[in-house]
Amino acid sequence: MSRLGTIGARLYRGEVGYDFVGKRMIWYGVSILITITAIVGLAVQGLNMGIEFKGGAVFTTPKTSVSVPQAQEYAEEASGHPAIVQQLGNGTLRIQLSELNTTQADSVATELAQDLDVPKGQIAWDLVGPSWGEQIANKAWTGLGVFMVLVVIYLAIAFEWRMAVAALIALIHDLTITVGVYALVGFEVTPGTVIGLLTILGYSLYDTVVVFDGLKEGSKDITKQTRWTYSEIANRSLNSTLVRSVNTTVVALLPVAGLLFIGGGFLGGGMLNDISLSLFVGLAAGAYSSIFIATPLVADLKERDPQMKALKKRVLAKRAAQAAGKGDPADAPDIEAIDDPDDEPQDAAPAGAVVGQRRQPIRGRGKRR
């Protein structure tokens, strides 16, 4: 077995682990800081809405030796409006100009042909109305709202309302970060961006649901034992799926990174940049939130339950009694780990690992004579 596989097996058995839930205030602080940065970037920079949402004209030129900055200067002089110029993979240019009508677009095409030294007939242009982009945006908002409502209902039925609330908060967290990155980077928001944002919704919930399923299974009959608190069981469930979550995320990010850095960077911008950036940021944020946000939030909400409070008091009281030597472990009920009955406690556990008390042999009291 590989080293990573060995670590994964030990995480699953609870032999090693990191106290994600116990250090949740650190992760909450990091998430709040990232979210505030995204919101400030969105408020200050704003989103660079594409021509599909603002309306205007798109010009496609034949292959030319004119640089992108020079072509942008020509387009702005010809139209009197800010221009967005992208060089495509085959050496052609894509020029976007907003607030143009048919007559103005034809005049701009004539001037561009002269400046770029290409035949006018080889410059193709199309007018885009803002109403089309507005329809796309409205449908995207509608789809997002319906998706979130269905997710909350499903998770509340399949698991419980606390998990539904935690998953919803993690989902909003991921979307906020993704949109904020778009504002800070200045990438153009196009229908491809909308597609990417809607696509990451499912990826964002995938790891979260996997951890929740393990947590649901591991917390059955939790109040009938005094070995683990709910937070400790949540942390064990999270550690048992950690390697799988990391592997899944890395495998998903590799092709998206290829689209973003190779397809968009070397082959030209356009739709590849628009969709790949939202996917890349969304996948990374989704993996982060499923590990550091969703499960600790569930533990926080669950620990407020009176039954879980009583369980925590019993667990801590039992441990304190055993630590002080007031309790005889041989007289304590023999209760194994809930989520892994075959788990054998170790002699020593690393820092951050959640480890239960060790089973002690029953000592004989001597033979009767």
Average pLDDT over residues 229-255: 85
**Residue 132 clears pLDDT 80, i.e. is over it:** no
Least confident of 43-47, 239-243, 262-266, 295-299: 262-266
pLDDT of residue 30: 92
**Residue 241 clears pLDDT 50, i.e. is over it:** yes
Euclidean distance between CA atoms 231 and 304, whole angstroms: 11
56-60/124-128 β-pairing: antiparallel
**Across-strand partners of 56?**
98, 128
What mean pLDDT value characterizes the chain? 78
Task: Give the model's confidence band at 297: pLDDT under 50 very low, under 70 low, under 90 confident, else very high.
Answer: very high
pLDDT of residue 6: 66
Distances (CA, A) of 244 to 7, 80, 86, 143, 159: 11, 54, 39, 30, 21
CATH 1.20.1640.10 applies to domain 3-49+132-306: yes
pLDDT of residue 250: 87
Task: Give the model's confidence band at 31: pLDDT under 50 very low, under 70 low, under 90 confident, else very high.
Answer: very high
Name which of 30, 16, 31 is nearest 235 in CA terms.
16
Q: What is the pTM of this model?
A: 0.72
Angle at which helix 230-240 crosses helix 306-323, to 10 degrees, equals 90
Q: What DSSP letter does each residue of 244-263 carry, written as one string? A: HHHHHHHHHHHHHHIIIIII
Q: What is the CATH number of domain 56-128?
A: 3.30.70.3400
pLDDT of residue 10: 62
Q: Give the DSSP H/E element, type plus range, for residue 304.
A: none
Euclidean distance between CA atoms 146 and 194, whole angstroms: 15
Domains 3-49+132-306 and 56-128 share a fold: no
**Residue 327 clears pLDDT 70, i.e. is over it:** no
Euclidean distance between CA atoms 58 and 125, whole angstroms: 5
**Across-strand partners of 164?**
none
Task: Give the model's confidence band at 298: pLDDT under 50 very low, under 70 low, under 90 confident, else very high.
Answer: very high
Show me where the domains of the chain are located.
Answer: 3-49+132-306, 56-128
Task: Give the model's confidence band at 93: pLDDT under 50 very low, under 70 low, under 90 confident, else very high.
Answer: confident
